[in-house]
Amino acid sequence: METTLRGVGVSHGVAIGEVRHMGTAVLEPPAKQIPVEDAEREQGRARQAVDAVAADLMARGNLAGGEAQAVLEAQALMAQDPELMTDVDRRISVGSTAERAVYDAFAAYRALLAGAGEYLAGRVADLDDVRNRIVARLLGVPMPGVPDSDEPYVLIARDLAPADTALLDPTLVLGFVTEEGGPTSHSAILARALGVPAVVALPGAGELAEGTVVAVDGSTGEIFVNPSDEKKAELEAAAAARKAALSSSTGPGATSDGHKVPLLANVGGPADVPAALEAGAEGVGLFRTEFLFLDDSKNAPSEDKQVEAYRQVLEAFPEGRVVVRVLDAGADKPLDFLTPADEPNPALGVRGLRSLLDHPDVLRTQLTSLAKAAEGLPVYLEVMAPMVADRADAKAFADACREAGLRAKFGAMVEIPSAALRARSILQEVEFLSLGTNDLAQYTFAADRQVGAVSRLQDPWQPALLDLVAMSAEGAKAEGKSCGVCGEAASDPLLACVLTGLGVTSLSMGAASIPYVRSTLAKYTLAQCERAALAARAADSAEEARQAAQAVLSGE
């Protein structure tokens, strides 16, 4: 019998196939005691397992490249965290086996994160995955992970660790569904990068029996269990129509009446450039520079290393626009040389621009590196600061850019509600705004972007979030300056039309989403987009806003 479930669609497309479940987590090791004389040997076993897992994660990152590489390298650093290893050694010294010591040390760290206001709860899946890999190696059992199958399937999991998501084979994994996660979780971001249909935050997904046929609609978030032949044909026809529309849509982003909306790519480094070029990106709207800094959490990369990496990206877009975000460290991206170790709530502490202003040498080196990387290139370089709260922040960043001799436009990210409320004030110091809708939603609704339980508040269709977008865009228009969106909201084709109607001047997203957005935007006039935006803002919930905009654009 056909039934329908609904989660949160995070990656476009339709997948129809049999369910396969993620490998089970490692069992809890027995709590047996070891003789004191065996402690040194057990400590050696633990270190060897940790180093092997870290090396494996780094190798997976090198294979995956791009954003996945940065995520996996962060996991490798997590595995070798000095404080964790000290705790493991201590537990072994008082009688624990290596595997039990690792298990208990990670459990204590897990509890510590939860007690820090749960901002880092979204990294619990990453932490659990590292623990499971180390314990599995110590026990000599297979690693948890993607199931072995010769036939294509739909993957079901509680959550997907980055190490698994990054290396999914799209020829075998038709799509995936997770019980946890949210629209901006690592799983969602990497799914979009892979172009694999995905639905997250679907409670009870794990109860779907192995081998059950499901149809996954990554656009709507619907899961059809035991779909009828008619439903399969309907979904496949819709998918084919979308594919045909995509292939026929080329060129710069614009509405049907010629209103230009540049479509840019979000990239994490040089490895993401080919996909952006293939998708027809008109430039880069968000160049995340963190990947360079994750190689070594104790030291910032050299100027030469930074210049080389930045230039590779800048050279790929001659006479195009490349917007670089300076290092956004802190919170869920701690760096030993930059981030305070004792913050009670890192999300509300010293992160982003605040960290850089506390370490002006790190900011100066990055800005100088960008200046050198752009020398002699016709690229339109723009540099922006993360976590700008007010005009004083914007001025401090602009002053630092000028002191570094940077010939570029200086901008500010709008990720804190205060920045949206005071957009015109901030624009007295900088030349453009870029809305990071992921963090803006997080801070607007006090809802961690990685926690599935509050995923409805992370929905970019929330009318309150649309109000802040409109406020920012109106402020920029009044000052004769630009206001783009570089958060995941831009990857939703329908929402892209609404954002255009709100006055946003450019949209930046993962490369895989660009054709979908370009094709959809080209169907409607600017006036239709503006009417859809008004209807969405007049709603009282995210779902009502989505339906209201759809009704306007479909002429209902």
SS (H, E, C) 7-38: CEEEECCEEEEEEEECCCCCCCCCCCECCHHH
Contact 504, 492 (CB under 8 A): no
Structure token pair of residue 303 = 């100027």
First CA to last CA across the chain, in angstroms? 32
Distance of CA 289 to the CA centre of its chain: 14
Query: What's the angle, vertex CA 46, arms to CA 43 and CA 51, rounded to 5?
Result: 125
Report the distance separating Cα 9 and Cα 445, nearest Å: 20
Phi, psi of 543 (to 5 degrees): -65, -40
Coil/strand/helix, residue 433: strand
413 near 388, Cβ under 8 Å?
yes
Catalytic residues: 186, 486
* Residue linked to tokens 């529309």: 245
Q: Please check whether residue 176 is in contact with residue 160, taking contact to mean a CB–CB distance below 8 angstroms.
A: yes
Render 259-299 in DSSP notation, one character per residue. Answer: -B--EEEEESSGGGHHHHHHTT-SEEEEEE-HHHHSS-TTS
Residue 414 — φ and ψ, nearest 5°? -100, 100
The radius of gyration of the chain from alpha carbons, rounded to an integer in Å, stands at 24
Residues sharing a CB contact under 8 Å with residue 82, sequence separation 6 or more, in sequence order: none
CB 504 within 8 A of CB 484: yes
Question: What single DSSP character describes residue 449?
Answer: T
- Is 132:22 a contact under the CB 8 Å cutoff? no
Asked if residues 169 and 33 have their Cβ atoms less than 8 Å apart, the reply is no
Q: Tell me the one-letter amino acid at 68.
A: A
Task: Lay out the sheet containing 213-217: strands in order across.
Answer: 3-6, 222-225, 213-217, 14-21, 153-157, 173-178, 198-200, 8-11
- d(Cα 6, Cα 406) in Å, to the nearest integer? 48
Angle formed at CA 368 by CA 341 and CA 262, multiple of 5 degrees? 95
The set of residues, in sequence order, having a beta carbon less than 8 Å from that of 532 and lying 6+ positions away, is 497, 498, 501, 524, 548, 549, 552, 553
- Longest Cα–Cα distance in the chain: 79
Written as six digits, the tokens of 64 are 């995956």
